[in-house]
Amino acid sequence: MIKHLTQLKVKNVYFCRIERHCFYFSNSFKLDKQKIIQLLQTKGDERVGLLKESQKTKNRVVGNKVYFRGLIEFSNVCEKDCLYCGIRKSNKNVIRYNATDDEILESCRFAWENRFASVVLQSGEIESPAFTKRIDKLLKKIKQLSNNELGITLSCGEQSRETYIRWKESGAHRYLLRIESSSRELYYKIHPKNRVHSFEKRVEALHNLKATGYQVGTGVMIGLPFQTYDDLANDLLFFKELDIDMCGMGPYIEHEDTPLYNSRNLLKPKQERFDLTLNMIAVLRLLMPDINIAAATALQAIDPAGREKALAVGANIIMPNITPCNYRREYQLYEDKPCLDEDKELCKNCLEARVELAGSEIGYDEWGDSKHFFNRANRLSEL
């Protein structure tokens, strides 16, 4: 039981006292790696205190609103062969698809008419002039059909700096590029080590996105084989050093059609991966209070209330899947992915109920952009 839990504000520093332990939560939350590891491993009453403090920080800094991002997984064609991914290039059991432009635009129209305010266009990773041109045209059409009202996040992998600039000029303003692990050693345990899968190129792409003015998001998988608490603490410090604006991270869930499935004997039980993910979200919210953090769909694959629990402890973004239903089963990065049979309307209604259960409200008609992005811009303008 928590014997003593108090909060005092002294020069913008918050003290949370839990039994004999004292953690210091400040606006900058400058923790060293060992303290982060301690928080990630915390259990019982101390963990309750951590999660509550994260929730308070979220409500105080970014508010209690949850913002929708209508997710459109428009293609599972991918040039990469990541060892953990169900749509990896070498998986011959996947039926490849490319949604038509009209199907994508119809999903965007649904998001606009239902006041989601933002969409995410997500695909396998392809670098080609034809792909660049297609996304460019889609961005312009999305802006046109929504009277420039829909915010657009892209999650289309590593591209050249010139491509990022072109897409931004055509209407995208947020970009999610997950690093999956900030440890070079672990990165090459979950990716082939070749020209197509370069850790250095991945990091360079994130820096290019920042330099071209995007709100930049990244993220990692939690509970991977070979992964340590030291790795996870370094991931959080990597986010802080890179000064990201958004984060999407969830539990690693294995897929039997991948090479990494052979290492499943090294995995923590799914519930432990789930709990560790919530701890990661909580510590990140304390470490970077004003960023946007997504409640990953993978959480719901382990716990039916997974996304609500993430919202309750620090996440403030949720992504209704508005991909046409006939494609959803072919975009399974991991097993047991939820919401494969729900149409757009059912998914919307379900997530509205989930947000309400989490004690939050939905920021309809609001882009819900990252406060961190604007705070960072203001800091730079003052230099």
CA-to-CA distance for 117 and 324, rounded, in angstroms?
Answer: 19
Q: Return phi, psi of residue 53, to 5°.
A: -65, -35
Angle (CA) 102 78 324, round 5°:
30
Q: Which residue has the tokens 């915010």?
A: 151
State residue 356's pLDDT score: 84
CA-to-CA distance for 184 and 234, rounded, in angstroms?
Answer: 11
381: pLDDT confidence band, cut at 50, 70 and 90? Answer: low
Residue 252: name the closest of 311, 298, 283 by CA: 298
Name the residue range of residue 181's domain. Answer: 62-382
pLDDT above 70 (res 22): no
25 occurs within a structural domain? no
State residue 19's pLDDT score: 35
Convert the pLDDT of each residue in 350-364 to its tens digit: 888 888 878 889 999
Convert the pLDDT of each residue in 68-105 to its tens digit: 999 999 999 999 999 999 999 999 999 999 999 999 99
Counts for the chain of helices (H) and strands (E), in that order: 14, 15
More confident residue, 259 or 342: 259
Q: What average pLDDT does this structure show over 290-298?
A: 97
157 occurs within a structural domain? yes
First vs last Cα of the chain: how many Å apart?
A: 48
pLDDT above 50 (res 6): no
Q: What average pLDDT does this structure show over 191-211?
A: 97
State residue 59's pLDDT score: 96
23 forms beta bridges with 16
7: pLDDT confidence band, cut at 50, 70 and 90? Answer: very low
Q: What average pLDDT does this structure show over 244-270?
A: 97
Q: What average pLDDT does this structure show over 25-37?
A: 73
Query: DSSP secondary structure string, 142-181?
Result: HHHHTTT--EEEEE-----HHHHHHHHHTT--EEE---B-
pLDDT above 70 (res 18): no
State residue 358's pLDDT score: 81
38 occurs within a structural domain? no
CA-to-CA distance for 316 and 4, rounded, in angstroms?
Answer: 28
Contacts of the segment 332-336: beta carbons below 8 A, 24+ positions apart: 332/86, 332/87, 332/255, 333/85, 333/86, 333/87, 333/255, 334/84, 334/86, 334/252, 334/253, 334/254, 334/255, 334/298, 334/301, 335/86, 335/253, 335/254, 335/255, 335/256, 335/301, 336/253, 336/301
pLDDT above 50 (res 382): yes
Q: Tokens for 86?
A: 């169900």
15: pLDDT confidence band, cut at 50, 70 and 90? Answer: very low
221 forms beta bridges with 250
271 occurs within a structural domain? yes
More confident residue, 22 or 276: 276
State residue 17's pLDDT score: 37
pLDDT above 60 (res 368): yes
27 occurs within a structural domain? no
State residue 11's pLDDT score: 32
pLDDT more than 70, % of the chain? 91
18 occurs within a structural domain? no
pLDDT more than 90, % of the chain? 83
Q: Which residues contact 19 (CB under 8 A, 6 or more apart)?
A: 2, 3, 4, 45, 46
The helix or strand, by DSSP H or E, that contains position 86, with its residue range, turns out to be: none
What Cα–Cα distance (Å) separates residue 93 from each residue in 86, 219, 349? Answer: 9, 27, 32
70 occurs within a structural domain? yes
Specify the CATH number for the domain of residue 341.
3.20.20.70
pLDDT above 50 (res 5): no
17 occurs within a structural domain? no
144: pLDDT confidence band, cut at 50, 70 and 90? Answer: very high
CA-to-CA distance for 297 and 307, rounded, in angstroms?
Answer: 7
Total domains present in the chain: 1
Beta-strand ranges (E) seen in the chain are 9-10, 13-18, 21-26, 65-68, 70-75, 118-123, 151-155, 174-176, 215-218, 221-222, 246-247, 250-251, 292-293, 317-318, 361-362
Q: What value does the mean pLDDT of the chain take?
A: 91
pLDDT above 60 (res 10): no
Q: How many residues does the chain have?
A: 383
383: pLDDT confidence band, cut at 50, 70 and 90? Answer: low
CA-to-CA distance for 381 and 42, rounded, in angstroms?
Answer: 39
State residue 343's pLDDT score: 79
Q: What is the pTM of this model?
A: 0.91
More confident residue, 8 or 131: 131
- 3-class secondary-structure state, position 331: coil
